[in-house]
Amino acid sequence: MRAWEKNIRRVEPYVPGEQPDSPKMIKLNTNENPYPPAPGVQAACRDFDAESLRLYPDPSCRELAHELAACYGLEDGQIFVGVGSDDVLAMAFLTFFNSDRPVLFPDITYSFYDVWADLFRIPFERPALDEEFRIRKEDYYRENGGIIFPNPNAPTSLFLPLKDVEDIVAHNQDSVVIIDEAYVDFAEESALPLLKKYENLLVVQTFSKSRSMAGMRIGFACGSPRLIQAMKDVKESYNSYTMNRTSLRLGVQAVRDKAYFRETVERIIRTREKAKERMASLGFIFPDSQANFLFVHHPEKDAGEIFSKLKEREIYVRHWDRPRISGWLRITIGTEDQMERLYEALEEILKEK
Amino acid sequence: MRAWEKNIRRVEPYVPGEQPDSPKMIKLNTNENPYPPAPGVQAACRDFDAESLRLYPDPSCRELAHELAACYGLEDGQIFVGVGSDDVLAMAFLTFFNSDRPVLFPDITYSFYDVWADLFRIPFERPALDEEFRIRKEDYYRENGGIIFPNPNAPTSLFLPLKDVEDIVAHNQDSVVIIDEAYVDFAEESALPLLKKYENLLVVQTFSKSRSMAGMRIGFACGSPRLIQAMKDVKESYNSYTMNRTSLRLGVQAVRDKAYFRETVERIIRTREKAKERMASLGFIFPDSQANFLFVHHPEKDAGEIFSKLKEREIYVRHWDRPRISGWLRITIGTEDQMERLYEALEEILKEK
């Protein structure tokens, strides 16, 4: 080994959901939206002035921030925009979690939280979800250097009622509390209205799920002007230009078309509710999802086996060989047709000896 | 001050070049290309399939990496793609500079190196450029945890001859040496051919200058498969999807049109060489630029005053109030017409008492 190789950072390679590319496949493994982005997005693409690409983009993302602020009844200075919610969340860790006390997040949750904490040398502790995968709010009533959890949680799909979210925020007014709402548009309500009361609350959302733009990498945080300005200062201190001109332009169009947004979200929720009936009748058990996926377990069939047999049929779902969840599968809600093919395949697989 | 405010990361806000937006202005302050991207980029935009945006992008950026590899006679596994060269360079700092010894870079150089070093808690030292702003290669022949410098350097515009670059790399085979070639397409030669001999060399380039795509945020690193794989592992361990689908698609088109690329680069070089004559005849002194900008000083007129008087005329250049360079201005090479208007304005300003 050469001397310089000793100084290469050691990491655990992340294994993202497979990105197979076959015309016949049914891809229910990365929680993408089965419907295309709003029609205005396609038009904005067609009419985009490529000459403008010679110039740097607006580092403060003013136009997109303004559109989002208007959409959610906030001020422009309450919005921070980033390259997907991963970028926004990592920036929030870097900006707010600079205490010697541990940051708290659940033992079963989004897999990047501990990675960012390690990256930025932030101590953390992971209170366990209860036996039914619920967050126990009392676990978060103790000294800490910050709190973060997704709502709905991933991959469990469970939503923590807003009054419990508020209890956690109210008990932690000395910490920044981040609610990662990647899936909230499929759930009963967002924590955004709490921003009026709590200056230490940050709500993070994404265009990747409900807005059908996973391929565009747009995420955003909403919070008090004090929190948002701090994130902007940190971001601009070391990388000014991250959002490119196409993201900014097409993102605006995605926010503007509110009717299309509601229609596709409602369609996915209807398909999900029907999926609950069908999966139950196939013998699966699952938490009562408020996300665009189900997290399912079958008492009589090994999850790894179901995963492999679905894959043989070019149906891709997600399985983790990890403590507490190795018996479970995460299945994204697709179109009605895709879901019908899933049920047929599962029926066959469950009949096999 | 609330308790959570104490844990907000303290940073020195970065002040990017102004982004004025007036139809009459002449913008020579951020080293953008005055010509639009290749015609194929506009066509790719028009024909882009916005439906595909519902899916995550290819995290390994295969198509764009392949196109770049083919363009530079490298293997696909020798290319790492990121969100502008800032993203690529920050990732290289994080991946390779993990020693207790100081990383070395010049005292006058790109302003983000020390920021990233601080961010990742990397020790560093900054050997001084000589009185004529030249890198003294012997300053880099000592124990270190890595080396990085731009070539041509910024904001000095000076190019270090390739044999000197090779001497630095050859003297430091126990370190990773990064050559930041943001402006190299306007200079005599790239260090890319050295990759055949040195496994510890990383060459970083960008689409923001010579390829007219500052607004798209595309940068890339070329190096041995060992270095590139290490960067990919680190990047994917904490943020898998950074390059969006439009960047990947339009980037490919920008690389393909080699004739257009050569033509615009040569045009800028011709304008630069003429600018040297004109600026000299106005009494300015400057290093012999091999970049798309000049770094100029006037013995009889204060740089800050010239800066302000150009700004009154809606001509924007760059001035830093920093040790050793406060008497200097950085002026981007614009179109022939823009440069003529610059010379006229300077003539007026220099005549004023």
* Residue-range domains of chain B with CATH: 18-37+259-351 (3.90.1150.10), 39-256 (3.40.640.10)
Element spanning B124, H or E:
strand B124-125
Indicate yes or no: CB of A41 within 8 angstroms of CB of B56.
no
- Coil/strand/helix, residue B202: strand
Asked if B200 is an interface residue toward chain A (Cβ–Cβ < 8 A), one would say yes
Count of A–B CB contacts within 8 Å? 266
From the CA of A6, how many Å to the nearest CA of chain B?
8
Residues A97 and A145: beta-carbon distance below 8 Å: yes
Of the residues A8, A177, A211, the best mutation for testing chain B's interface (the one with the most B CB atoms within 10 Å of its CB) is A8
The answer to whether residue B238 scores a pLDDT higher than 90 is no
Model confidence pLDDT, tens digit, residues B167-215: 999 999 999 999 999 999 999 999 999 999 999 999 999 999 999 999 9
**How much is the pLDDT for B336?**
98
**How much is the pLDDT for A12?**
79
Asked if B58 is an interface residue toward chain A (Cβ–Cβ < 8 A), one would say yes
From the CA of B27, how many Å to the nearest CA of chain A?
10
**Cα separation, A352 vs A218, whole angstroms:** 43
The answer to whether residue A17 scores a pLDDT higher than 80 is no
Q: Cα B337–B277–B263 angle (5° rounding)?
A: 55
Indicate yes or no: CB of A96 within 8 angstroms of CB of B36.
no
| Angle formed by the axes of helices B245-256 and B39-46, nearest 10° | 150
Model confidence pLDDT, tens digit, residues A42-99: 999 999 999 999 999 999 999 999 999 999 999 999 999 999 999 999 999 999 999 9
Residues A34 and A221: beta-carbon distance below 8 Å: no
Greater confidence, A314 or B23? Answer: A314
Chain B residues close to A246, C-beta within 8 Å: 45, 216, 244, 246-247, 250
Other beta carbons within 10 Å of A229: 16
Minimum Cα–Cα distance from A14: chain B residue: B237
Q: Are strands A318-319 and A329-332 parallel, antiparallel or unpaired?
A: antiparallel
Model confidence pLDDT, tens digit, residues B43-83: 999 999 999 999 999 999 999 999 999 999 999 999 999 99
Chain B residues close to A247, C-beta within 8 Å: 244, 246
Asked if B123 is an interface residue toward chain A (Cβ–Cβ < 8 A), one would say no
Residues A10 and B234: beta-carbon distance below 8 Å: no
Indicate yes or no: CB of B213 within 8 angstroms of CB of A54.
yes
Reading the block at residue B102, the tokens are 């100081």
Chain A residues close to B214, C-beta within 8 Å: 53-57, 241
The answer to whether residue B13 scores a pLDDT higher than 80 is no
Model confidence pLDDT, tens digit, residues B74-107: 999 999 999 999 999 999 999 999 999 999 999 9
Indicate yes or no: CB of B239 within 8 angstroms of CB of A90.
yes
Chain B residues close to A237, C-beta within 8 Å: 11-14, 115
Amino acid at B62: R
Model confidence pLDDT, tens digit, residues A235-268: 988 888 999 999 999 999 999 999 999 999 999 9
Q: Which residues make Cβ contacts (< 8 Å) with residue B271, sequence separation at least 6?
A: B333, B334, B335, B336, B339
**How much is the pLDDT for B152?**
98
Asked if A271 is an interface residue toward chain B (Cβ–Cβ < 8 A), one would say no
Closest CB from A99, A112, A240 relative to B238: A112
**How much is the pLDDT for A239?**
83
Indicate yes or no: CB of B173 within 8 angstroms of CB of A250.
no
Q: Which residues make Cβ contacts (< 8 Å) with residue A65, sequence separation at least 6?
A: A76, A79, A80, A81, A220
In chain A, residues 226-265 whose CB comes closer than 8 Å to chain B: 226, 230, 233-234, 236-247, 250
Asked if B326 is an interface residue toward chain A (Cβ–Cβ < 8 A), one would say no
In chain B, residues 74-103 whose CB comes closer than 8 Å to chain A: 83-84, 86-87, 90, 94-99
**How much is the pLDDT for B2?**
83
For chain B, what is the mean pLDDT? 95
The answer to whether residue A175 scores a pLDDT higher than 80 is yes
**How much is the pLDDT for A16?**
65
Indicate yes or no: CB of B53 within 8 angstroms of CB of A46.
no
- Coil/strand/helix, residue B148: strand
Residues A77 and A225: beta-carbon distance below 8 Å: yes
The percent of chain B in helix, strand and coil, each rounded to the nearest 5, is 45, 10, 45
Minimum Cα–Cα distance from B42: chain A residue: A50
- Coil/strand/helix, residue B4: helix
Asked if B141 is an interface residue toward chain A (Cβ–Cβ < 8 A), one would say no
From the CA of B301, how many Å to the nearest CA of chain A?
30
**How much is the pLDDT for A237?**
85
Model confidence pLDDT, tens digit, residues B322-351: 999 999 999 999 999 999 999 999 999 999
Minimum Cα–Cα distance from B200: chain A residue: A4
Indicate yes or no: CB of B216 within 8 angstroms of CB of A94.
no
Q: What residue spans of B217-257 are helical by DSSP H?
A: 225-238, 245-256
Reading the block at residue B39, the tokens are 């015609």
**Cα separation, A103 vs A94, whole angstroms:** 12
Residue B224 CA from chain centroid, whole number: 21
- Coil/strand/helix, residue B334: coil
Count the alpha carbons within 13 Å of A109 in the hemisphere toward its beta carbon: 28
DSSP state of B314: T
The answer to whether residue B119 scores a pLDDT higher than 90 is no
Q: Are strands B177-180 and B201-206 parallel, antiparallel or unpaired?
A: parallel
**Cα separation, B104 vs B86, whole angstroms:** 18
From the CA of A296, how many Å to the nearest CA of chain B?
23
In chain A, residues 14-53 whose CB comes closer than 8 Å to chain B: 14, 16, 19, 27, 30, 32-37, 41-42, 45-46, 48, 50-53
CA dihedral B3, B4, B6, B11 (to 10 degrees): -170
Locus of tokens 């204060």: B302
Indicate yes or no: CB of A57 within 8 angstroms of CB of B146.
no
Indicate yes or no: CB of A55 within 8 angstroms of CB of B119.
no
Of the residues B173, B200, B246, the best mutation for testing chain A's interface (the one with the most A CB atoms within 10 Å of its CB) is B246
Q: Are strands B124-125 and B103-104 parallel, antiparallel or unpaired?
A: parallel
- Coil/strand/helix, residue B55: coil
**Cα separation, A83 vs B90, whole angstroms:** 16
From the CA of A12, how many Å to the nearest CA of chain B?
6
Indicate yes or no: CB of B245 within 8 angstroms of CB of A215.
yes
3-state helix/strand/coil string of chain A: CCHHHHCCCCCCCCCCCCCCCCCCCEECCCCCCCCCCCHHHHHHHHCCCHHHHHCCCCCCCHHHHHHHHHHHCCCHHHEEEECHHHHHHHHHHHHHCCCCCCEECCCCCCCCHHHHHHHCCCCEECCCCCCCCCCCHHHHCCCCCCEEEECCCCCCCCCCCHHHHHHHHHCCCCCCEEEECCCHHHCCCCCHHHHHCCCCEEEEEECCCCCCCHHHCCEEEEECHHHHHHHHHHHHHHCCCCCCHHHHHHHHHHHHCHHHHHHHHHHHHHHHHHHHHHHHHCCCECCCCCCCEEEEECCCCCHHHHHHHHHHCCEECEECCCCCCCCCEEEECCCHHHHHHHHHHHHHHHHCC
**Nearest by Cα to B330 from B173, B158, B168:** B158
CA distances from A165 to A73, A190, A197 (A): 20, 10, 13
**Maximum separation of any 2 CA atoms in chain A, in Å:** 62
From the CA of B180, how many Å to the nearest CA of chain A?
16
Chain B residues close to A100, C-beta within 8 Å: none
**Cα separation, A72 vs A88, whole angstroms:** 18
Reading the block at residue A5, the tokens are 């190789």
CA dihedral A279, A283, A288, A289 (to 10 degrees): -40
**Nearest by Cα to B145 from A11, A6, A119, A238:** A6
Closest CB from A53, A234, A244 relative to B11: A234
Reading the block at residue A345, the tokens are 């395949």
Average pLDDT over residues A205-212: 98
**Cα separation, A240 vs A303, whole angstroms:** 45
From the CA of B40, how many Å to the nearest CA of chain A?
10
Beta-sheet strand order (sheet of B103-104): B79-82, B219-223, B201-206, B177-180, B147-150, B103-104, B124-125
Average pLDDT over residues A309-336: 96
Residues B28 and B295: beta-carbon distance below 8 Å: no
Closest CB from A16, A50, A236 relative to B42: A50
From the CA of A184, how many Å to the nearest CA of chain B?
18
Residues B30 and B214: beta-carbon distance below 8 Å: yes
Please provide residue A318's backbone torsions phi and psi, each rounded to the nearest 5 degrees: -115, 135
Minimum Cα–Cα distance from A56: chain B residue: B215
Model confidence pLDDT, tens digit, residues A95-125: 999 999 999 999 999 999 999 999 889 999 9
Indicate yes or no: CB of A4 within 8 angstroms of CB of B48.
no
- Coil/strand/helix, residue B149: strand
Confidence band, pLDDT 50/70/90 cuts, at residue A13: confident
Q: Would the CA dihedral through A299, A317, A218, A73 be positive or negative?
A: negative
Indicate yes or no: CB of A14 within 8 angstroms of CB of B237.
yes
Please provide residue A54's backbone torsions phi and psi, each rounded to the nearest 5 degrees: -65, -20
Indicate yes or no: CB of A14 within 8 angstroms of CB of B115.
no
